Amino acid sequence: MTRVVNVAAAQLGPISRDETRTDVVARLLALLHAAAQRGAELVVFPELALTTFFPRWELADDELVAFFEREMPGPETKPLFDAAAMLGVGFHLGYAELTPDGHRYNTAILVERDGSVVAKYRKIHLPGHEEPEPWRPFQHLERAYFEPGPDAFAAHDAFGGRVGMAICNDRRWSETYRLLGLEGVELVCIGYNTPIHYPPDPDQDRLAGFHNHLVMASGAYQNGMWVAGVAKGGLEEGVEMLAESQIIAPSGEVVARCTTAGDEVIVAACDLDLCTHYRGTLFNFDRYRRPELYGPISERPRVQAKPPAPRREH
Ligand code: CDV
């Protein structure tokens, strides 16, 4: 018996600052229904999918909390859970989480086809800066607005397989996929918000799409897992965001890819048993890895190169 899961990447186009949660949830519902009509069982939404990408601004505390969810589901997001249960379609959703004791995380949840929350993941690798940097054309204040997730990458038994989650910048780090792979993850859901312009080194701008594909495809191949990478793309509040959502097989091949920078659904039949082809052969972790020699990966680097000064624009 094959274990094929029909996975949808539900890419979002830009969300403006004045769009309400209700407006955005209506867009998510339209994508969920479109995905269900195409046979999807799991719909992957992007990082921070309920609002505009607010870390681009320096915000006062009262402005900031307006972008956060105190409960999940809450009154505005409940229709998504109800629709999921009614359609029998699960989803993965990124949002800004404010805990009852005041912690702020960049979070994603995995919801099963009956509308129940299977698992929560809080972003481990937070990019950007802690303080406003006025030289930048826009800010990236994730390190000011969120605490790093305290929990390790994990595998969850869901959708007939082992599913993992990572968020945006996590996808650039090989440790993310390897740790998920060691947990037996067969499909990893990754939402992202990636400004194409990278102010500390604008030479990287032209490579944004290439790097996005490179890291997710190599992570899939080197760990024998499916990767669903899903963007919030397009021109959002004056900042061009990378789209190029894609679903990648354990072979490293892209099996479905968005062709717009707007709201768009792509669907792929993901055979989870393909993972064992790679993990049972070339990437047989137990047989071929040499973990006794990998200690420095989990220690702080002993020799640290001095980081370069940011290449500011004039
Ligand atoms: N939301 C993100 O984590 N964005 C980063 C940008 C800042 C490089 C990313 O890795 O795409």
**DSSP-derived secondary structure for 261-274:** SSSEEEEEEEETTH
Residue 62 scores a pLDDT above 70? yes
Residue 89 maps to a domain: yes
Q: Which of residues 308 and 161 earns the better pLDDT score?
A: 161
Residue 271 maps to a domain: yes
| Residue 275 annotated in active site | no
Annotated catalytic residue, options 47, 69, 142, 244: 47
Neighbours of 260 (CB within 10 A): 12
Residue 306 maps to a domain: no
Only one residue has tokens 């998504």, namely: 80
DSSP category for residue 308: P
Residue 309 maps to a domain: no
- Is there an atom of ligand 1 within 6 Å of 168 CB? yes
CATH number of the domain at 97, please.
Answer: 3.60.110.10
In the chain, how many H helices and how many E strands? 8, 14
pLDDT of residue 299: 87
Task: Copy the structure tokens of residue 48.
Answer: 């921070």
Q: Whose CA is nearest to atom 8 of ligand 1?
A: 194
* Identity of the amino acid at 191: G
Global pTM value = 0.96
Contact 226, 200 (CB under 8 A): no
Q: What is the mean pLDDT of residues 17-38?
A: 98
Residue 70 maps to a domain: yes
Query: What distances in angstroms separate CA 27 from CA 53, 115, 264, one per listed residue?
Result: 16, 18, 10
Annotated catalytic residue, options 112, 123, 142, 270: 123
| Residue 168 annotated in active site | yes
Residue 313 scores a pLDDT above 90? no
Residue 310 maps to a domain: no
- Is there an atom of ligand 1 within 6 Å of 176 CB? no
Residue 107 scores a pLDDT above 80? yes
Query: What distances in angstroms separate CA 135 from CA 200, 306, 307, one per listed residue?
Result: 10, 21, 18
pLDDT in tens, 172-199: 999 999 999 999 999 999 999 999 999 9
Q: Residue 32's domain spans which residues?
A: 4-298
Residue 185 maps to a domain: yes
Task: Copy the structure tokens of residue 220.
Answer: 């899939």
Q: How many residues does the chain have?
A: 314
Contact 143, 129 (CB under 8 A): yes
Residue 264 maps to a domain: yes
* For ligand 1, mutation pick of 121, 133, 168 (most atoms within 8 Å of CB): 168
Per the structure, the count of domains in the chain is 1
- Is there an atom of ligand 1 within 6 Å of 139 CB? no
pLDDT in tens, 210-237: 999 999 999 999 999 999 999 999 999 9
